[in-house]
């Protein structure tokens, strides 16, 4: 009991320190500008006490104002961003709170209607991963998995009311749509339901790493590194909950669901080379045949900027985006093998932790994370100063989408993305910067880059994508460079620079070969007709 009280006090103190001096505090949500409630855990709630999850990982979005008496209802974890069973702090917290209150716990997933325009490529990957997750979560943990379709601000409150839940746990996403849904859910649920948000995506919880918009990797690196001893720790073993849910979750016809969604999003077909799910993700990280840390890490130091060597990169972004692997797990394992190739491991950790979490910081604290308004003043000014500069080429969105430009290198990168759903990281910078050069102004350039990135990248619709486009086109997290036409002081990239770095013709030929081989395979397998509709 003393231990329990102690952790409860720690939880209170940690939250208290963020809201400076009051037991319940209204803060302005930087995205929606509407009030967010972040509260101290109340001793009166049976569901606000000790947890194995570090208190700093948890934000209390809503605290019960009317405890439901001696018999609290179950705990529900609304899973959105962290779609995995292993190494998931939100799931750990949900089970922990359920066990403490001796109540059952369920996982609920809401399938949006093509969230942010997702196509078959993204929906297929996600649903196939969820199908595996449902099986493992029910088989290994005996936690029921409920799938809803429709408006999440209606489905989740209704489910909570139907099962008489006391606590909703959810994972963290800085995307504005999700933040708005969470606010609506907090308003819609009954007064006897608390809502906890757990940052299960970042190694250092976003609000702990920094309480403000960071200027660059340089300003956030030290803050993150200082907190790694506290947060980059092993995960506790997740045990099945003590109390079982008293009914089975309704049957989910995954095959039909997948088929329906593939049909709806058929314009951008699935990819073949990247197997979805937690097991596949672990294999990409540490598999004995071709795992990144087991077999490929060494090349990361020397070859990661060579688009002809995509295997030098980890290939983890699809899994990280859908939460099918935890970044913390990747970082823990990378640290274990660091002594074998320290330079490569450090470079990987810089991208995985510092750059990735900087992207979340930007989207969390900058309401205009995907528009010119979100750029720093110097960048907006220089872009507007050069908005009317004469462009050598201006292409329409359609021409760009179809890779119909006069630059074979750019076309190859566009086709790599369209056909394979993952453009090489180095090419993404060149690709976005050329869009700035070839459209009528920076706003159009940014909108086009985000549109294409979100539509075709398997890892798109992600803070990394918004920040990648903002970095390339609007200089976010970068500095001013020598002023030139169109770009102003935004960092410039050109073909000559690429030729100095890698074999440009080799990359163009490589993309062509890959597309040819895929087409041939697909033609042999007549069941797939969609690929022929993609830009050639
Ligand atoms: C214009 C543009 C658009 C981009 N769009 C996306 C996107 O939609 N989704 C996405 O996940 N990344 C995006 N990135 C960032 C980066 O290019 C990809 O994360 C990386 O290429 C993914 O491949 P990987 O996992 O094999 O990379 P690795 O080099 O192996 O990196 C490992 C992980 O570190 C993180 N990471 C790597 N580079 C960056 C970076 N520059 N910024 C933030 N995190 C990084 C990613 O989570 C990545 O999975 C974009 C970058 C640019 C310039």
User: pLDDT tens across 356-375, in order?
Assistant: 999 999 999 999 999 999 99
| Nearest by Cα to 463 from 161, 119, 201, 138 | 201
Phi, psi of 286 (to 5 degrees): -135, 15
DSSP SS3 for 193: coil
Residue 427 tokens read as 């090419």
> Is residue 275 exposed (0-12), middle (13-18) or buried (19+ Cβ within 10 Å)?
middle
Query: DSSP label at 287?
Result: -
Give the residue, out of 224, 284, 317, with the most ligand 1 atoms within 8 A of its beta carbon, to mutate for a pocket test: 317
At 46 the pLDDT is: 40
Q: What is the pLDDT of residues 120-144, one digit of tens each?
A: 999 999 999 999 999 999 999 999 9
Do 83 and 126 contact (CB within 8 A), yes or no?
yes
Q: Is the pLDDT of residue 511 over 80?
A: yes
Distance 77 CA to ligand 1 centre (A): 28
Residues of the chain with CATH 1.10.579.10: 372-523
Of the pLDDT bands very low, low, confident and very high (cuts 50, 70, 90), residue 525 is confident
Give the residue, out of 341, 425, 452, with the most ligand 1 atoms within 8 A of its beta carbon, to mutate for a pocket test: 425
At 391 the pLDDT is: 96
Distance 464 CA to ligand 1 centre (A): 6
Lowest-pLDDT range, 26-35, 303-312, 461-470? 26-35
Q: Is the pLDDT of residue 47 over 60?
A: no
The predicted model gives 463-492 an average pLDDT of: 98
Degrees to nearest 5, angle at CA 104 with 69 and 238: 130
Q: Is the pLDDT of residue 528 over 80?
A: no
Q: Is the pLDDT of residue 81 over 70?
A: yes
**% pLDDT > 70, the chain:** 88
Instruction: Characterise 261 by phi-psi region: left (phi > 0), alpha (psi -120 to 50), beta (else).
Output: alpha
**Closest ligand 1 atom to Cα of 457:** 8
Distance 248 CA to ligand 1 centre (A): 39
Residue 7 tokens read as 């952790």
Assess whether the C-beta atom of 457 lies below 6 angstroms from ligand 1: yes
Assess whether the C-beta atom of 472 lies below 6 angstroms from ligand 1: yes
What beta strand segments (E) does 319-474 contain? none
Assess whether the C-beta atom of 372 lies below 6 angstroms from ligand 1: no
CATH (residue range 2-201): 3.40.50.620
Assess whether the C-beta atom of 459 lies below 6 angstroms from ligand 1: yes
Q: What is the pLDDT of residues 371-397, one digit of tens each?
A: 999 999 999 999 999 999 999 999 999
Residues of the chain with CATH 1.25.40.80: 209-238+286-367
Give the residue, out of 323, 331, 459, 475, with the most ligand 1 atoms within 8 A of its beta carbon, to mutate for a pocket test: 459
- pTM (2 d.p.): 0.91
CATH 1.25.40.80 at 209-238+286-367, yes or no: yes
Assess whether the C-beta atom of 469 lies below 6 angstroms from ligand 1: yes
Assess whether the C-beta atom of 452 lies below 6 angstroms from ligand 1: no
At 69 the pLDDT is: 65
Contacts of 240-243 with CB under 8 Å at 24 or more apart are 240/140, 240/141, 240/142, 240/143, 241/95, 241/98, 241/99, 241/104, 241/105, 241/141, 241/142, 241/143, 242/98, 242/99, 242/102, 243/98, 243/99, 243/102, 243/103, 243/104
The predicted model gives 203-208 an average pLDDT of: 98
Helix, strand, coil distribution of the chain in percent, nearest 5: 50, 10, 40
At 68 the pLDDT is: 61
| Nearest by Cα to 78 from 100, 57, 93 | 93
Assess whether the C-beta atom of 324 lies below 6 angstroms from ligand 1: no
Nearest CA to ligand 1 atom 38: 351
**Closest ligand 1 atom to Cα of 469:** 1
The predicted model gives 173-189 an average pLDDT of: 98
The predicted model gives 315-326 an average pLDDT of: 98
Sign, CA dihedral 83-86-92-96, equals positive
Assess whether the C-beta atom of 434 lies below 6 angstroms from ligand 1: no
Rounded Cα distance, 16 and 350, in Å: 31
Residues of the chain with CATH 3.40.50.620: 2-201
Q: What is the pLDDT of residues 437-455, one digit of tens each?
A: 999 999 999 999 999 999 9
Q: Is the pLDDT of residue 244 over 80?
A: yes
Nearest CA to ligand 1 atom 50: 468
Residue 395 Cα distances to 430, 436, 536, angstroms: 16, 11, 17
Residue 367 tokens read as 């309401």
Query: DSSP label at 316?
Result: -
Assess whether the C-beta atom of 186 lies below 6 angstroms from ligand 1: no
For domain 372-523, the CATH class is: mainly alpha
Of the pLDDT bands very low, low, confident and very high (cuts 50, 70, 90), residue 204 is very high
Instruction: Characterise 87 by phi-psi region: left (phi > 0), alpha (psi -120 to 50), beta (else).
Output: left
At 123 the pLDDT is: 97
Give kind and range of the element (H or E) at residue 147: strand 145-149
**% pLDDT > 90, the chain:** 84
């Amino acid at each position: 009991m003393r231990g329990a009280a102690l952790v409860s006090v720690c939880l209170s103190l940690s939250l208290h320190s963020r809201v400076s001096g009051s037991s319940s505090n209204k803060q302005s949500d930087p995205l929606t500008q509407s009030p967010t409630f972040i509260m101290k855990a109340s001793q009166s709630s049976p569901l606000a006490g000790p947890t194995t999850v570090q208190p700093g990982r948890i934000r209390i979005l809503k605290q019960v104002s009317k405890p439901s008496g001696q018999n609290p209802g179950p705990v529900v974890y609304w899973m959105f961003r962290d779609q995995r069973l292993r190494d998931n702090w939100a799931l750990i917290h949900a089970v922990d709170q359920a066990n403490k209150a001796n109540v059952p716990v369920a996982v609920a997933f809401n399938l949006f209607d093509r969230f942010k325009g997702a196509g078959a490529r993204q929906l297929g990957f996600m649903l196939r991963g969820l199908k595996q997750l449902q099986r493992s979560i029910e088989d290994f943990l005996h936690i029921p998995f409920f799938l809803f379709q429709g408006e999440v601000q209606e489905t989740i409150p209704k489910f909570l009311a139907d099962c008489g839940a006391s606590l909703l746990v959810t994972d963290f996403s800085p995307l504005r749509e999700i933040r708005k849904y969470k606010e609506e859910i907090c308003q819609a649920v009954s007064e006897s339901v608390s809502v906890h948000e757990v940052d299960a995506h970042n190694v250092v919880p976003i609000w702990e790493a920094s309480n403000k918009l960071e200027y660059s990797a340089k300003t956030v690196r030290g803050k993150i590194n200082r907190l790694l001893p506290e947060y980059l720790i092993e995960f506790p073993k997740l045990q099945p909950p003590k109390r079982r849910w008293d009914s089975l979750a309704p049957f989910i016809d995954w095959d039909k669901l997948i088929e329906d969604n593939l049909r709806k999003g058929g314009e951008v077909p699935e990819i073949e080379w990247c197997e979805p799910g937690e097991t596949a993700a672990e294999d990409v990280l540490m598999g004995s045949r071709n795992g990144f840390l087991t077999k490929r890490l060494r090349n990361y130091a020397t070859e990661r900027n060579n688009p002809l060597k995509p295997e030098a990169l980890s290939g983890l972004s699809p899994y990280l985006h859908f939460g099918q692997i935890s970044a913390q797990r990747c970082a823990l394992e990378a640290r274990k093998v660091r002594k074998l190739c320290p330079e490569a491991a450090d470079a990987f950790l810089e991208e995985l932790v510092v750059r990735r979490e900087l992207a979340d910081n930007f989207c969390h604290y900058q309401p205009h994370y995907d528009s010119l308004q979100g750029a720093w003043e110097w960048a907006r000014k220089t872009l507007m100063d050069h908005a009317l500069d004469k462009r050598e080429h201006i292409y329409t969105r359609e021409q760009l989408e179809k890779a119909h430009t006069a630059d074979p290198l750019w076309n190859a990168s566009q086709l790599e993305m369209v056909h394979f759903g993952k453009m090489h990281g180095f090419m993404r910078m060149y690709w976005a910067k050329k869009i700035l050069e070839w459209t009528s102004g920076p706003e159009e350039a940014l909108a086009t880059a985000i549109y294409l990135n979100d539509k075709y990248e398997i890892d798109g619709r992600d803070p990394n994508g918004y920040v990648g486009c903002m970095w390339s086109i609007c200089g976010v997290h970068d500095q001013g460079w020598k002023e030139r036409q169109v770009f102003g002081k935004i960092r410039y990239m050109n073909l000559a620079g690429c030729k100095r770095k890698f074999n440009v013709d080799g990359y163009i030929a490589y993309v062509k070969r890959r597309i040819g081989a895929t087409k041939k395979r697909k033609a042999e397998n007549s069941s797939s007709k969609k690929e022929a509709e993609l830009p050639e």
